[in-house]
A and B are shown apart, each in its own frame.
Chain A
Amino acid sequence: MEKWSAKPGKCMIETVILAISLIAMAGSFLVIKRGFNPRFRQVRHIQAFPTFIGQAVEKGGRTHLYTSATPLVTEKSVTTLAAISLLDSLTINMPVSDQPPLFTSADTATSFILMDKTETIFRDKSAYDERKRLPVYQNALEPMSGAAASMSFIQGNSIDANILMGSIGPEAAIMAEPGNRINIPQMIASDLIEGQAASQVLCSFSLIGEEPFIAPLQLKGGTIASVTLVTADIIRWIIVIMIILGVALKTIGAIGGS
């Protein structure tokens, strides 16, 4: 059991942050239930993206969705889960297109979850055929190979929209390049800085910072979504105040020390 041990005092900050977040969430829930109608900072582009997918569906086009190669048993698993949640919101109308969407991943556990999700989406649209293979492919076993495999997927399957989600690093540049060349709408939702930089340059839509995690909520709507978004705003302001306080205290300390 030694491999899992940690110093007890080290986790105090995490406990406090979690407690503050839970209190903020409970407070937001009570305020919204009493009729408060909050206005949020909208995630850029996210409202427009379903329209682009809709256009691809209407003209019978095919959408490629890649979910990152991050294994589901690491601390990064939450990013993969958020990507699957975003996929739920984005893929609602895709099965009705003449060409079904293509789902790829370079992680095995994620591929199995994608298969399950895809079956649900297809059944929901009465587009599921038990004799046909679900369009879910595990294209590799690690990120760079996954990126290289995705390139050939995009080039060889007449893709009309390309969505890359999860912990995607510099391989995002390789994965978005074929789509960029044929000028199709692309979105990268990554929690990694390298992936976010690539998405800014190569994609029409990029989700950065907390946006990949908040975007599914803005697409779904509802009370719980509003509660989470209000909590995000509250915690953001707490962080801003803490940073300003930290800078002020450090400056005062430096002046006092000299």
Chain B
Amino acid sequence: MKNLIPTVIAISFAVLVLLGFLFPTGQFLSIRGLLTDWAVIVAALAILLGILNIILSNWDRIRTRQKGWVYDFITIVALIGTILLEPLSASGTSEEFYTTGNGIQTVFSGIISATQATLAGIAVILLIASAGQLYQRKREVWSILFLASLLFVLISWVPLGIFGSLVQIRDWFLAIPVAAGLRGLIIGSALGILLFGIRFLIGTERVYEEKDTR
């Protein structure tokens, strides 16, 4: 009984949302909208709890003077500072957030976007370096192919104008073999998602279930 009630609730709500998606008319659509709105409210509350969780876990590390506690302190100061920045800098309208020169906008474009762009750049460099390491570690057909494809695409993007025919080969390479491979992987993922969703709907996959182990 302990697990039956959550299972029935989860499956019923999942079926109602699915029906609202497959038959987006009348009552089905209204119920889907209502349930999705509830989910958004719960998620918003979860974010507030998450922020509290981040503050508490960082405070714990500062209190016990763990290695790198200064970074935890900076995290808390940045978090509280950003939260306070909004009421201090905005006039209260949602449009204000997107205005250039607004405090929160400056934090986003000057710190968060810049940091994310840097990390994305590092990710590319790491991939190139790792492809080289993979070739040294495992000299098999696939690692050679990976490294060769990577170098070829990178070289063909060099804007020197001396790789005229390379550009055409690259375009063909990206449009045919690469696109075919990508579609295969995407179809595979979609198949997995479909089957996992069905297992969830028929109640054989219960990630929300609490096992009674006491």
Contact = CB atoms under 8 A, between A and B. Distances in A.
Contacts of B83: none
A79 to B, nearest CB: 7
A220 to B, nearest CB: 10
Contact of B22 (A14, A22, A202): A14
Contacts of B68: 152, 156
B36 interface: yes
Contacts of B53: 108, 111, 138
A138 B124 CA distance: 26
B193 to A, nearest CB: 5
Interface in A165-199: 170-171, 173-174, 177, 180, 191, 193, 196-198
B198 A21 contact: yes
Contacts of B198: 18, 21-22, 25
A148 interface: yes
Contact of B213 (A112, A124, A152, A228): A124
Interface of B: 18, 20-25, 29-30, 32-33, 36, 39-40, 42-43, 46-47, 49-51, 53-54, 57, 60, 67-68, 71, 115-116, 119-120, 122-124, 126-127, 130-131, 133-134, 146, 182, 184-189, 191-200, 202, 204-205, 207-208, 210-211, 213-214
A245 B71 CA distance: 58
Interface in A1-56: 1, 3-8, 11, 14-15, 17-18, 21-22, 25
Contacts of B42: 73, 109
Nearest to B40: A73
B82 to A, nearest CB: 11
A236 B191 contact: yes
| Chain A contact surface mostly | helix
Contacts of A210: 188-189, 191-192, 195
A109 B199 contact: no
B196 to A, nearest CB: 5
A25 B194 CA distance: 12
B213 to A, nearest CB: 4
Contact of B43 (A73, A81, A82): A73
Interface size class of A (residues with CB under 8 A): 35 or more
A236 B191 CA distance: 8
Given A6-B24, A11-B22, A124-B213, A111 B195 contact: no
A4 B33 contact: yes
Contacts of B134: 201
A231 B200 CA distance: 15
Given A108-B46, A170-B120, A208 B188 contact: yes
Contact of B130 (A6, A82, A170, A180): A180
